[in-house]
A and B are shown apart, each in its own frame.
Chain A
Amino acid sequence: MKSIELAEFEELVGSHQKMVYLYVLALVGEHFLAEDLTQETFVRAYASDPFRRGEIEHIPAWLRTTARHVVYQELRRNRRHPITFIETIGIEIDRLRMTARESNDILRDALRKCSQRLTGKARSVLEMRYGEGISAIEIGKKTGKTQTNINAILSRIRSGLRDCIKMEMEQGT
């Protein structure tokens, strides 16, 4: 039984931070908040029980659970997000993950496949919003639309992608 070294832990952080970040991002939606909470998750992980007991197989689940609790805690503290909604969604996201683990890359492949079906305009809006990180207002200025229009477009794109991915995943499984 040997205790974890900082270098080993650093390696772990490097390997898994994006996974935790994306998980947190899915919950809170905000990039900077997701980064902060990802950091907090790993800081807590360093002194965690699974690490102490060396239960490697439980580490991923534990990381995710820790992240979820970190999110809940932060949201309760700040009252900026609907915590009950997040709690409900957190459970669903975990269930989704369980499904996705059966065929690891289905979700990613489905997303790529569905993205190809988007129109050029929709893809352009998506690229600006996610790729360039431009706000809806700015996108509106560039495209001559209102912020409400852009938000509606983004909402339609996301729901369209979701339905498409859902279908793809069902076919995949």
Chain B
Amino acid sequence: MSGNTNRTDDLLSKYLDGLLSDREAQELTDLVGDDPETARDAALSLCVHASLVQELRPAESFRDLTPSIMERVRARAPRAAARRRTASFRWGVWAAVAACLAIVVGSVVYNTHQPATQPEKIVAYVEATSPKVVVTRGDRSIVAVLKMTLEPGDTIVTGSGERIVLAYQGETTRVELKEDARLTLLTGAPVEGKSLRLESGDLTASVATQSPERPMIFHTPHARALVRGTVLSISVKNTSTRLDVTEGRVEFAKTSGRASIDVTAGHYAVAKDGTDLVARPVPGADLLQQLVQRASTTRTVADMKALKDLSRAAYEAELARGEKCDLVRLVYLGVARAIARNPKEDRQTEDLRFILDRAVGEDTQADSTAAGLSTKDRKIIRDNCRRARKLAEELYYDEWAALLAPLQDKTIRRLPSLTEALLFEDGYVTFYERGLPRVAEPLLEGMKSRFGGFPATDYLARSVLPLVRIAAARNRRLEETIQFDSLQFLSGGAWEVRGDTIDSEKQHPFRSLVKKQEDTKGIYVAALPHIPFRRAVLTGQVRLRGLGDNPGMFPWRWGMTGQGALRGQGITLERAKALETDRRWTWFFILFVHREDGRWGMVRWEWLEGDQPHDLTTSKPSLPPRERSSLGAKNGGLVSYGDKSWDMTGHPRIILAAEDASVEWRALGLHIVEEGTEKEK
């Protein structure tokens, strides 16, 4: 017994110090489970530990948890209050109850307990931001980052092309500050509600229902707008402030006067010295409303085509206003434009801005629910909006990139939660697919400056890889520890960069087939048109060190593949061509596919010695002079090196090493959608 007690004490000490191993934890569990007396002693030991904390720790070091708890409770208060609508409680005897609560000490209260009248705190934070937006706090300037909590008095300044989205804890209110704008958070005291001052620039806001006593107030140099729940946009010029209301109603007043007007949905008003406040209908708003109505109830392709003229008219009305669309309108326009689908129009809408926010989906669904629509109708709306989002995602790649920028240096372990925070549904996949052609343009610039004209890996790492990581994490097809250093993407069509030109329109997914491999100086990825899947992502990284005449480490290079066909469970390449053969031991490429049976498979390895390609699946080229070895692949996924072999299925990384030489290869994401599982659009 004594031995057990001593051992239990040792283990308990480790437990309290957080040093208990799994095996010791099991041992401790067994010890207390086997002997009630040991269990009682252990319980008392833990109570002693807690008592020592309470007795010896200075009272002031106990953090008062009340503010944190109340903040969370208040965030849930409306829901909880609804549940407790009929409840009652006698609170007069709480003090007496407290005395009975003590486990160890009895009724001890925190010295730092705050009075019950502590005001509710309004907490605003950054939900999305461009990389260099600056927040001025007192004398300090801070670069805004995701989830950063904002304080009253903070001033946010956006530069050209920048934007930032603010959110409020516990509600769906969102404020998007556009480029070249200046916004200050005012007191935020609960008695005044949320309060912002827009000094210059534009903002749009989707404001959740506010308490009637505490409306959200937007101040500008010329006016103030009291909001109790609506969607609006405000634009501040040198001498005037314009308010546009998309939904709900806003009380609008000049700073210089007490008179106010109500501006309702589809109307706008301008506050300017020397003119009266008048609410006027927004041009084209009626068209938009019609469009929304029609688009929301469209069921057939014929109906959708019938919307084309209407959508064009609404769109042109938007452009005629010369103003940027707000979120909801853009979604609806996106619906219509997805229907009309005119690529030239896409180009014209590049000045529009789109908030990539889950609120899109939530708002839309909330609207349709509020309208009392049937489940079927709601599904149609949802599908329409999803289609609109896909289109918008392609159009607004820059915004996506801004949102994703903070992911660059994160480890993949953290990505899923960030993904959830930033994105919704499968939008990232769509973006990845559709946005990639637009990556090509800056990529081309990067190519000129790095690696003798070869793709700039750093650019890829910055701009595209996070997306792949997200997709990989979401699809759970890669290990968390994998490192991505290169990638290629291939849709069912083709993506191609030749020399200094790229025609992204032609690269639109699912549009074209394989392009010829004429210029090998750039990036080239060719589709495998005979493979009965629609798109595939492939390739690995090659890092050669100390091999043959190779002077050192090649950051990476990647090759191409020819045409091929997937037959049954295996793949046979009908033709393969190597690129860039100016160095010995340089080229090396690999194609992985996700096979029909759900496993990863390796299609082909090829090794170039001088100008001569070697098919590693059938030949054994001479490898580093010091180590004549062989590489081979068989059975789709089994890689052999010398007398060793690796099953690459489930192994994202492999290093082939021989003394002072090594070949390191890393598999990247590969995602294949079989043909016919998703109709081409």
Which A residues have a C-beta under 8 Å from some C-beta of B?
Answer: 1-4, 6-19, 21-23, 25-27, 29-31, 35, 38-39, 42-43, 46-47, 51-54, 56-57, 59-60, 63-64, 81-82, 84-85, 88-89, 92-93, 95-97, 100-101, 104-105, 107-108, 111-112, 115, 126-127, 130-131, 133, 136, 151-152, 154-156, 158-159, 161-162, 165-166
Contact = CB atoms under 8 A, between A and B. Distances in A.
A158 B48 contact: yes
A5 to B, nearest CB: 8
B20 to A, nearest CB: 7
Contacts of B95: 15
Nearest to B16: A29
B416 to A, nearest CB: 16
Contact of A158 (B13, B18, B98): B13
Interface string B109-132: 110011011100000000000000
Contacts of B103: 19, 22-23, 26, 64, 93, 96-97, 100
A34 B525 CA distance: 55
B10 A14 contact: no
A59 B40 contact: no
Contacts of A165: 44, 48
B48 to A, nearest CB: 5
B185 interface: no
B42 A89 contact: yes
Name which of B12, B48, B68 has the most chain A CB atoms within 10 A of its CB. Answer: B48
Contacts of B43: 26, 89, 92-93, 95-96
B106 A108 contact: yes
B18 A29 contact: yes
A157 B353 CA distance: 66
A60 B100 contact: yes
Interface in B53-83: 53-58, 61-66, 68-70, 72-74, 76-77, 79-81, 83
A19 B101 contact: yes
A130 B52 contact: yes
Given A39-B68, A43-B69, A100-B104, A115 B18 contact: no
B47 interface: yes
A7 B117 contact: yes
Given A13-B65, A18-B108, A112 B55 contact: yes
Nearest to A8: B91
A146 B544 CA distance: 47
Contact of B106 (A8, A42, A104, A133): A104
A35 B52 CA distance: 16
B66 A155 contact: no
Given A46-B80, A85-B29, A165-B44, A26 B50 contact: yes
Contact of B20 (A82, A105, A131): A82
